[in-house]
Amino acid sequence: MKNEKIPFIENVFLDTSVFEEQNFFHGSKIRSLFHYSNLRFINLFMTTISKMELLDRMKTRLIDCKSDYNKLVKSFNNQEQRILKNIDLFDYLRLPTITVESSLQQLNQKLDINIKANNIQIINSESVLAEDVFERYYSNLPPFGLGKKKHEFPDAFIILNLEAWCKANKKKMIVLSKDMDFLKFKSRHLIIIDNLADLLQEITKQYDTFKETNVIPTVNQLLVTLRQGLIEEIKEKIGEKIFLSTDYEKTSDFKMEKIDYYSNKITSIRDNYAEVELMIELKFSINVFPDHLDIERAVFEDKVSRHKLIKKILVPVDIEVYFRGLQTAKIKWINSNDPVMVDFY
């Protein structure tokens, strides 16, 4: 989705889908947003319903991962794997099992701590009339559609709650969401966008201007100076994260042919460093030998020869650029520490 033009940013609402994308409180970008809220440069909002929805989503995630994690613990302690106890590192390693209720209680406490520490304001949802929500429901208006009504009802209450707050306070609000139900909603008071890095870039520009820190030109120059070294370091580290996914039966010589700088966004300014999202372009190739299925599907004009396929993908890399003292850069995360999947189909 192409985001609307972002005006001066004062009020920001964070949808549950953004918390999920950022691994709740763990992602670099959501921490950057908390940083600006902590400085009171922006006002960050949740609603009473969105907070409940966030806790419910945390519980769902815990239930989903509980089984796989506890299987790992059981496997680590079984007869076949116990030999690892003879190695110092594993001898002292104790893996606890997960209990959903106690883990959720910890996450609830962490949420409350983050709300208080980062000045996140909670908008009460009492102002929304159920009648207004049901009117949108029966008129099939966003956020309602053909999707899951169970999830659309909280979205409807949240959106109308935000709109009512904006009308009462004569303010506009940035609504950050990855949820298509939100993104389809049209409002004069709500500016709905889906890219956290874009939002942070705009906030950072405004912060640099209004606080007269003048850091952005220095960081941009450092990025030019340090770019090649960063590319080489990323090239060394990214190999273990790359995984091939393909439905071709016969392949060979899968490799990364090229890694190059694509773009960057400065996402926050701290005391002595700036956080930056580098976008890196990776070029991959693979040799494919057509089999009978490829021939039946007429995938290739030449049904016998080997074919070399090329694919380019963009991968985000979060870095810290230090602009005081020893001017250098440090890689924090490559692809948010997730695998880099390369699909050939």
Give a yes or no: residue 197 inside a domain.
Answer: yes
Verify that 168 and 231 share a domain, yes or no: no
Q: Please, is 161 exposed, middle or buried when counting C-beta atoms within 10 Å of its C-beta (0-12, 13-18, 19+)?
A: buried
Looking at the structure, tell me whether residues 40 and 187 fall in a common domain: yes
In this structure, are 223 and 305 located in the same domain?
yes
The answer to whether 56 and 151 have CB atoms below 8 angstroms apart is: no
| Single-letter amino acid, residue 164 | A
Domain boundary, last residue among 178, 205, 232: 205
Task: Supply φ then ψ for residue 132, to 5 degrees.
Answer: -65, -40
E-only strand ranges, 270-345: 273-288, 307-322, 328-334, 340-344
On whether residue 3 sits in a domain, the answer given is: no
Q: Which of 137, 170, 205 is the last residue of a domain?
A: 205
Residues 273 and 192 in one domain: no
Residue 140 inside a domain? The answer is yes
Query: CB neighbours of 117 closer than 8 A, spacing ≥ 6?
Result: 34, 38
Q: What's residue 138's pLDDT?
A: 45
In a domain, 276, yes or no: yes
Domain that holds residue 151: 11-205
Of 205, 235, 262, the last residue of a domain is 205
Burial of 109 (0-12, 13-18, 19+ CB in 10 A): exposed
Same domain, 268 and 337: yes
Residue 2 is assigned to a structural domain of this protein: no
Peptide bond into 143 cis (omega under 30): yes
Is there a domain that residue 4 lies in? no
Handedness of CA 209, 210, 214, 220 (dihedral sign): negative
Task: Report the C-alpha gap between 199 and 335 in whole angstroms.
Answer: 19
* pLDDT for 2: 44
CATH of the domain at 139: 3.40.50
SS3 label, residue 123: strand
Using alpha carbons, list the distances in angstroms from residue 322 to 90, 169, 215, 223, 269. Answer: 36, 40, 11, 10, 10
Domain shared by 166 and 286, yes or no:
no
Tell me the backbone φ, ψ of residue 254, rounded to 5 degrees: -70, 125
Comparing CA positions, the residue from 173, 278, 182 lying closest to residue 224 is 278
Entry pTM: 0.83
pLDDT of residue 15: 94
List, run by run, the mean pLDDT of 10-residue segments along the chain (345 residues).
Answer: 64 95 93 97 95 92 84 69 69 72 93 96 79 58 58 79 93 93 87 95 96 96 97 96 92 96 98 97 93 62 75 98 95 95 94
Q: Residue 130 has what pLDDT?
A: 62
* 227 and 189 both lie in a single domain: no
C-alpha closest to that of 315 among 292, 270, 282: 282
Residues of the chain by 3-state class (helix, strand, coil), percent to 5: 45, 25, 30
Cα dihedral 112→117→120→125 (10° resolution): 30
Is there a domain that residue 5 lies in? no
- The closest of 312, 319, 248 to 285, measured between CA atoms, is 312
Residue with tokens 């929500």: 133
Q: Are residues 186 and 230 in the same domain?
A: no
Residue 272 and residue 174 share a domain? no
Backbone angles phi, psi at 67, to 5 degrees: -60, -50
- Residue 200 has a pLDDT of 97
pLDDT for position 263: 97
Do 50 and 142 fall into the same domain? yes
Count of other CB atoms within 10 angstroms of residue 77: 13
- In this structure, are 110 and 91 located in the same domain? yes
Q: How many CA atoms lie within 13 A of 339 on its CB side?
A: 7
If asked whether residues 162 and 233 sit together in one domain, one would say no
Total number of domains constituting the chain: 2
Sheet holding 328-334, edge to edge: 251-269, 273-288, 307-322, 328-334
6 domain residue, yes or no: no
